[in-house]
Amino acid sequence: MNLKQLEVFLAVAETGSFTRGAEKSFLTQSTVSQHISSLENEFGIPLLDRTGKGVMLTEAGSILFYHASKILAGTHELANAMQRFKGMEKVVLRIGASNIPGTYLIPLFLPLFQELHPGVTVDLTQGDSQQMLDKLKREEIELAIVGSLTEDNALDFHRVGSDNIILVVPPDHRWSGKGEISPEELLEESYLCREKGSGTAAAVHSALANAGINPKKLQIKAYLGSNEAIKQAISHGIGISFLSELSVGRECRQGELYPVAVRNLTICRNFYLASRRQRELSPAGSSFHRNIIEWYRESAPGLNPPCQQ
């Protein structure tokens, strides 16, 4: 059984005639008869009753007509869906992003992407960097933008942004308004940290270790899953934290939080666009990948220059 045989069968059944069915199928009547005979031989049962007034469906033919109609309708819809996919019309692009790029980087890029491809709907999932990379490898998303670079032979990474991570305290803190503190003073305070797997947390721990401060000696009061949660906890006096400059810029300008410089400590981390190695992207995914890299390289507004690695 093949799709052409089903098409011919439907044509004959719908027109009630081998002759008209042949005309509708653009085939000779003998070829149509051969297709019908092949189907009846395969199923081992008559599908059409031949009468002097034409042909009529048998009970078995009625069952085949119902299912063949659904099969052919599905193939037509499949063909249309593939054409829409190629033309990026009514297409959903599933991407993932860690907290900071998902909140501050992608919204800057989306207007350009939507202008280029108005038929593509971006479905964004957010979580920490490791969660997004795991989703990418499970093929739950097609691309991921994360705040840390990992050694993984299954993935490719391209830089698409950067961010400074700064120490922030509440307005009534003893360091508020202070020009600079020493690295050793960091051990005197209570801290709020992002969850394990966070690109921000990984960048902070690496920078502290390079500055001679053992991150394990920090007095950690809580691990929280987002920058917003940490900002709320800081405002309630629970502790202080190292946070993305992109995420606390408004609060610092309005005096709700205060940045504090730490002597000889600069924390900068890049954002990376991750994709599965040796896997072809969809047309929408390929365009997103290409355009966001070009956008960052040439004219990304409001972003820091890349960190020196």
Cα 301 from chain centroid (whole Å): 22
Structure confidence at residue 136 (pLDDT)? 95
**H/E element holding 243?**
strand 241-244
Indicate the angle between helix axes 18-25 and 3-15, nearest 10 degrees.
130
Please enumerate in sequence order all residues whose Cβ is within 8 A of that of 155, keeping only pairs 6 or more positions apart, or say none. 133, 136, 137, 274, 275, 276, 277
Structure confidence at residue 269 (pLDDT)? 86
Structure confidence at residue 23 (pLDDT)? 87
Angle at 25 between CA 22 and CA 28, to 5 degrees: 40
Structure confidence at residue 81 (pLDDT)? 61
CB 35 within 8 A of CB 8: yes
Structure confidence at residue 1 (pLDDT)? 81
Which structure tokens are listed for 190? Answer: 């209570």
Ranges of residues in the chain with a pLDDT under 50 are none
Compute the distance between CA of residue 122 and CA of residue 141 in angstroms, rounded to an integer. Answer: 11
Compute the distance between CA of residue 125 and CA of residue 103 in angstroms, rounded to an integer. Answer: 11
Helix, strand, or coil here: 237?
coil
Structure confidence at residue 175 (pLDDT)? 92
Structure confidence at residue 257 (pLDDT)? 93
Structure confidence at residue 95 (pLDDT)? 95
Compute the distance between CA of residue 304 and CA of residue 254 in angstroms, rounded to an integer. Answer: 21
Other C-beta atoms lying within 10 Å of the C-beta of residue 69: 14
Could you tell me the domains of the chain? Answer: 3-87 (1.10.10.10), 91-160+270-298 (3.40.190.10), 163-268 (3.40.190.10)
pTM of the model: 0.65
